[in-house]
Amino acid sequence: MTAGVQVLTTDHLRAFSHDPRLVARLAAIHALGDVWAMGAAPQVALAQVTPVLPFLLYWGVTSLMAYSVASERMPWLTLHPLTPMVLLAGYYLLRTVIEVVERESAGIAAPGEGLSFVSFEGHEVGWVDRVADLPDDIRTIVEADLASREFVPEIERIASVSSFACPSTWQVVTDRGEAQLVLKGEEDIRRLTRTRLLIADSHGIQFLIRDIGSLDRHSRKLLDRFL
């Protein structure tokens, strides 16, 4: 009987989804890739997802209870209940920011989906999942109104850039004619999908590149220097 070598590997991933089953499955597959890379045959995989939110709630509540019955009232002791509360507040604030960004970019990444109707008071009064599902007469009115409100110019060609270091002045050709934008930093180029970009200039105007592959070779070469 020949002696074998046992291979063990661990991996850690930041949660990118709120589905624990999906995160655990991808983490296990990612770890198994290391096993296959070493020429071994996987026998078992264990994936563990740490429930961060319940832990922070438990930490905050128990620390607050312990501090309330403690005989000492030292100011530094407030750090124990305060720390999980700050982390929880930061988590939900980040969730809010992400939802706002996703809603703002939804009209560009999927212009025919996720349409919200808002009253003059700023309250949402209706929601349409897909404009194509509306009756023909209503869809015609909605599409005409959306076309009149579209204010994001689409870049069709990048003629030149003043410098590959930011700030950089771009001369571009859009669906509304020639334009000039000043890119303050590479962080102002936001990737909506794998091939779709949203570029903000120094004045806050948003320029859309609907498909990187549709640009000519010269434009793609200039754009690659900033990605």
Give the model's pLDDT for residue 157.
92
Query: Which CA distances in Å does 167 have to 162, 163, 203, 218?
Result: 9, 8, 13, 20
Instruction: Report d(CA 143, CA 129) in Å as an integer.
Output: 14
- Written as tens digits, the pLDDT of the chain (227 aa) is 445 677 777 777 766 666 777 777 777 777 777 777 777 777 777 766 666 677 778 887 887 777 777 666 666 667 777 787 888 787 777 666 655 554 554 455 556 677 777 766 667 777 777 888 888 888 888 777 776 555 678 899 999 999 888 889 999 998 878 889 999 988 889 888 888 888 988 877 888 898 898 999 999 999 998 88
Using the 8-state DSSP alphabet, how is residue 211 labeled?
-
| pTM, rounded to two decimals | 0.40
Beta bridge partners of 160: 171
Q: Is 113 helix (H, G, I), strand (E, B) or coil?
A: strand
Query: Which CA distances in Å does 32 have to 9, 12, 14?
Result: 8, 12, 17
Q: How far is CA 123 from the centre of its chain?
A: 25
Instruction: Report d(CA 62, CA 86) in Å as an integer.
Output: 15
The full set of domain ranges for the chain reads 53-104, 110-149, 155-224
